[in-house]
């Protein structure tokens, strides 16, 4: 069972260099047929990375929903938020072929689950998610939790009574859990005590900048970068936060876009990003090079959202 200890908080502010439309990371080419991309369209579906071979993973009955799918560490299963079979809202897992569907933990709203691709301090690929506190949605308090995939050991890793935390993402080596709190990006480091239980070692401010509203974060697979969505007047734009340089640098990816973008996620080799662009004729699910070039629409507008590219089963630290 996971056990919560007192946070050892080290708040470290960092400055940023803001650049636009530049930086390393090639545009790549048109997306390969594999590995696959999960997305939501009247349930959860999976397609090849070029938009072909669409098939259903989770079908819905009356009154059911399934949202925000996220690949498991082996690529043979996924986690998602939903309400299925009268079991109530929560985090669910299911095999890619639709078998072995189970509810992992209950929540009071959208959970945005993220399944680590590398084992955590207890040797298990943990599922992280965000949820409201005991007061529910009306309490305006939302924390980051982790739980074992079998539903044991639920741990509130932030336990911030006056803050709202909406999205989280694992670092590439599984050692840190990034999350958004209001307009800041923070990270928690998890440890394991002598009895094998998890606890929070530290909480650190990674990024703080009052002019950017950082939401929907996803970590890179091979580099210390995050892709995130920043909104201005309700319109989302894709950015990359490069943590490998000092000071960290923000780069706007979709500078020429006139659409409203959501749900960015890196390809396995980090050369491309899949995302949703809202709109009529020009909307849909797209992939684009990390440098903003070679944009390709792989699914038409109104045919899915919340895309998530399959990650490598093992990531080189």
Summarize pLDDT for 106-128 with one digit per residue, the tens.
Answer: 998 778 999 998 888 888 899 99
Place of tokens 């399934």: 66
pLDDT at 218: 94
Q: Is the pLDDT of residue 202 over 90?
A: yes
CA–CA separation, 316 vs 192, rounded Å?
22
User: Which carries the bigger pLDDT value, residue 133 or residue 162?
Assistant: 162
Average pLDDT over residues 221-225: 90
Q: Is the pLDDT of residue 246 over 60?
A: yes
DSSP letter at 27 equals -
Contact status, residue 53 vs residue 47, Cβ threshold 8 Å: yes
Closest to 113 (Cα-Cα) out of 77, 138, 85: 77
pLDDT at 9: 35
Q: What is the average pLDDT score of the chain?
A: 83
Confidence band for 22, pLDDT divided at 50, 70 and 90? very low
Length of the chain: 317
Reading phi first (left if > 0) and then psi (alpha if -120 to 50, else beta), residue 196 is in left
Average pLDDT over residues 279-283: 71
pLDDT at 315: 43
279 exposed, middle or buried (CB, 10 Å; 0-12, 13-18, 19+)? middle
pLDDT at 139: 58
CA–CA separation, 263 vs 275, rounded Å?
5
CA–CA separation, 115 vs 69, rounded Å?
10
Average pLDDT over residues 116-141: 80
Of 12-26, 66-80, 142-156, give the lowest mean pLDDT range: 12-26
pLDDT at 314: 52
pLDDT at 281: 62
CA–CA separation, 18 vs 123, rounded Å?
38
Structural domains in the chain, sorted by start:
17-309 (2.120.10.30)
Supply φ then ψ for residue 52, to 5 degrees: -90, 170
pLDDT at 316: 40
Give me 312's structure tokens: 């490598």
pTM here? 0.87
Average pLDDT over residues 241-263: 85
């Amino acid at each position: 069972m996971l056990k919560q200890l007192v946070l050892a908080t080290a708040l470290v502010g960092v400055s940023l260099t803001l650049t636009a439309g530049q930086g390393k990371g090639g545009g790549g080419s048109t997306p390969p047929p594999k590995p696959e991309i999960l997305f939501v369209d009247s349930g959860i579906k999976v397609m090849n990375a070029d938009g072909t071979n669409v098939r259903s993973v989770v079908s819905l009955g009356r009154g059911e929903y399934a949202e925000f799918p996220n690949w498991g560490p082996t690529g043979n299963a996924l986690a998602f938020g939903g309400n299925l079979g009268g079991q109530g809202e929560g985090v669910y897992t299911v095999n890619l072929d639709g078998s072995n569907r189970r509810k992992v933990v209950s929540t009071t709203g959208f959970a945005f689950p993220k399944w680590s691709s590398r084992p955590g301090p207890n040797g298990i690929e943990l599922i992280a998610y965000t949820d409201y506190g005991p007061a529910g949605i009306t309490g305006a308090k939302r924390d980051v939790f982790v739980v074992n995939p079998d539903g044991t050991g639920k741990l509130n890793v932030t336990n911030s009574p006056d803050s709202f935390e909406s999205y989280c993402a694992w670092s590439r080596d599984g050692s840190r859990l990034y999350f958004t709190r209001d307009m800041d990006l923070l990270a928690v480091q998890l440890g394991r005590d002598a009895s094998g239980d998890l606890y929070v070692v530290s909480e650190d401010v990674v990024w703080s900048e009052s002019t950017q509203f950082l939401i929907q974060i996803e970590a890179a697979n091979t580099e210390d970068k995050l892709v995130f969505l920043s909104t201005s007047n309700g319109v989302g734009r894709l950015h990359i936060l490069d943590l490998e340089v000092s000071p960290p640098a923000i780069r706007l990816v979709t500078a020429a876009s006139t659409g409203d973008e959501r749900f960015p996620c890196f390809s396995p080799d980090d050369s491309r990003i899949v995302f949703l662009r809202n709109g009529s004729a020009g909307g849909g699910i797209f992939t684009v090079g990390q440098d903003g070039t070679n944009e390709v629409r792989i699914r038409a507008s109104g045919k899915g959202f919340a895309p998530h590219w399959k990650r490598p089963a093992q990531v080189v630290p």
